[in-house]
Amino acid sequence: MGIQQFRLPDVGEGLVEAEIVSWKVKPGDTVKLNDTVVEIETAKSLVELPVPYAGVVTELLVPEGETVPVGTPIIAVQTGEATPGDLTPPVTEGTPKEDLVPSIPGEEARTPNLVGYGPRATEAKRRPRKTVGSEVAAQAGPAVAEPAAPAPVPVPAPVEVAGGNEAGSVHVLAKPPVRKLAKDLGIDLAQVTATGPGGIITRADVENHTAAQAAPAQAVPSQVAPVVGAQGDTRIPIKGVVKVMAQAMVSSAFTAPHVTEWITVDVTATMDLVERLKKDKAFRDLRVSPLLIVAKAVTLAARRTPIINATWDEANQEIVIKGSVNLGIAAATPRGLIVPNIKSADSLTLPELCGALNDLVATAREGKTSPADQAGGSFTITNVGVFGVDAGTPIINPGESAILAFGVVRKQPWVVDDEIVPRWITTLALSFDHRLIDGEKGSTFLADVAGILEDPARALMF
């Protein structure tokens, strides 16, 4: 018999700490292999963790509401004889603390870190929890699937690489073009999960890390502890979703030359179509909205202008046109602004796309959007109309080349056959990277989207 300590694991998000949100067990409970024992929150999502062995819970080592680094023991379980699947050695009285920390032969003992097992100078800080209760809504700006990146591989022969941390360098493996890309994007390679052979960080690793961090501007800080000063000033710590959003937006704004074009559209025919679809049996139990038609119009218009669904590869000096449209939908959640994406949205039928949109919103509302659902996007729609806003100039998600802002749909006077009549009107605003999308391509794409919304029958032409 022995006591096994389960340490906070690497959940594959490129982060170094997490908050213990809620325990699902208590001391004395019996747990089976892979039973869910705790819910944690990172800067990206809420994650339920399974216990890697069976036994009786003897102690919860970290209280709810506390933020701790990856590698910290969080729960102790009394088990039978230790097995190869145990994550930590048995803990007995008198066991030195340093003996519980995994180490790589030939290296000094060090505190486990999410990526690369690098040393950590800061200590865990406790913060008060706040209640999650606000609704999910599409929001302006970028921040919506490929499998989550695997756990980091110990570096066998580290090389010195310039990074974004205070130390100025970290031990990671990456080729010069990848290091240059990370530097251009302002990414610290120590925070990127390596998937290449022998722990090498690849270009795809950097792009996936950047995409997962992408979040649009104007996100509302959530679940942080504000500090009110003597003069009434409120200071809110820059952390979590707000921090990664800020980094992503600065990187995008100062890397890609943005151009924004606007078009005002009569979408009366689209609104009529939405009402008909709501009564169609193919959409039973589905929520149909104008956003569905906009999403479909984007995937169709991208067929004629595929460059809109591309990315700029600075390191290799290439333009990469994506093979499918991974359609991101910016969503304001109780935790902040995120952008989950629908994989291969261009291959879905209209009912399938509607179901995917419904699932995306429901998952975000529950705070269950996974890092994989936020990675790998190729084009984003931000629905500012739900807030009564006409339009805006959204910032492109890193790793993408364009983003469409969909404004409020409202009845306005409109000239039809020389007569002024009330019509449903909206405004679309497209921001695109002018390095690879010129004015003609951007204008063609935007006009095609607008044309389908004005007359959905035009979709038959694509």
Active site residues: 434
Q: Return the SS3 of 182.
A: helix
Which residues touch 157 (CB under 8 Å, ≥6 apart)? 173, 198
- Tokens matching residue 287: 């929520």
Helices 350-365 and 290-304 pack at an angle, to 10 degrees, of 120
Spatial separation of the C-alpha atoms in residues 87 and 144, rounded to whole Å: 33
User: Partners of 403 in the beta sheet?
Assistant: 380, 431
User: Partners of 200 in the beta sheet?
Assistant: 173
Spatial separation of the C-alpha atoms in residues 278 and 316, rounded to whole Å: 47
DSSP H stretches of helix in 331-374: 350-365, 371-374
Burial of 53 (0-12, 13-18, 19+ CB in 10 A): buried
Q: Return the SS3 of 15.
A: coil
Q: Return the SS3 of 258.
A: strand
- Do 186 and 251 touch, CB atoms closer than 8 A? yes
Angle of CA points 344, 350, 352, to nearest 5°? 60
Strand pairing of 159-162 and 169-174?
A: antiparallel
Which residues touch 190 (CB under 8 Å, ≥6 apart)? 113, 115, 116, 118, 163, 165, 170, 172
Spatial separation of the C-alpha atoms in residues 244 and 194, rounded to whole Å: 19
Which residues touch 309 (CB under 8 Å, ≥6 apart)? 302, 321, 322, 325, 378, 379, 401, 402
Spatial separation of the C-alpha atoms in residues 132 and 272, rounded to whole Å: 36
Which residues touch 368 (CB under 8 Å, ≥6 apart)? 45, 46
